Copies of this chain bind each other. A is one copy, B any other.
C-alpha cells in the first residue's frame, strides 16, 4: 500500500488516547487516510477506540506494520524504547516513523539506538496541543487545528520524509516548523514542563495539609486556572520530566533563584521591586496574548 498522493493509505497508531485518537479523527475528517490500525496495551481502551470510530481495526504491533505507510508513536515517552525495539525487525523500508512525544532528544536517541537502519524515514514530532483529559474518549478531530507542530529531523532523515510528515501534520490542521531537538527541549522545559511541575507541586503541598478541606474550600478561579495542568496525566508528566531531566532541572533552578529574589524583596518590604516584577510580567503576558512582540 502506498501513499495515494493526497494523503496516506494505511497508518498505524500506537497508543490510541487523546493524542493518537485525535490524529486519527483529524485524518479521517480530512479524507486523508484509507485505514487506521490501532495498537495499544489496554484492550478495553482499544475496544472503545474501535467503537467510536477512531480506528478501523485493532492489531498487535507486528500485524499493524504490514504494508504500512506511516507509524505514529503516541504513547508516553517512557514506553517508546520498548516499542521501537519490537518494531526494529518488522518495519518495512518505506514506512515513515513519527511520534507525538513532548520531549525530543530522548526520542532521537531511542531512534538511533533501535532504528539505526531506518533513520532516513524517522521524523520526530511534537504537536503543541493537549488537554488535561486523557484517553480515547477525549479525542477530538480539531485538537491540532491551528496549533504548532515542531519537527526535529535527524541529520540522516531524508528531505522527502520531512516533506511527507509535514504534509501529514498539515492535513490535521497543524502549523509545522522544524528545530533541532536540543533547542526544542530547552524551549519546552521553560514554557511547558516547568509550569506543569510548579502546578503539581502547589496542589500536592496544599493537599498534604491537615486543614486541606478548608483551604480547598476557599480556593477560587485563580487557583483553578493556575492548577488546571495539575489535572494532566501523571504517568505522561513523570516520563517527560525524566526524559528532559537536565533542561528541566536547569529551569527549576532558575525559577527557584527568581523566587528567592522575590522572597528577599518581600522580606525587606521592597514594594518597588515587587511592583516592577509584577508590571514586567503583566506587560509581557498582555503582549503575548495580543500577538505583539514581548517588550
Contacts and interface: CB of A to CB of B under 8 A. Distances in A.
Interface of A: 78, 128-130, 147-148, 150, 187-188, 190-192, 194-209, 211-216, 218-232, 234-235, 237-239, 241-242, 245, 248-249, 252-256, 258-260, 262-263, 266-267, 269, 271, 274-275, 277-286, 288-289, 293-295
Contact of A207 (B147, B256, B281): B281
The secondary structure that dominates the A interface is helix
A295 B207 CA distance: 8
Given A222-B229, A231-B286, A200 B278 contact: yes
A284 B216 contact: yes
Contact of A254 (B190, B205, B225): B205
A256 B216 CA distance: 20
Stoichiometry, as copies per complex, reads: 2
A223 B195 contact: yes
Contacts of A259: 197-198, 201, 252, 255-256
17 contacts: A191-B206, A191-B220, A191-B223, A192-B219, A194-B202, A195-B202, A201-B259, A206-B284, A207-B280, A207-B294, A216-B284, A216-B288, A224-B289, A249-B266, A249-B267, A256-B256, A256-B263
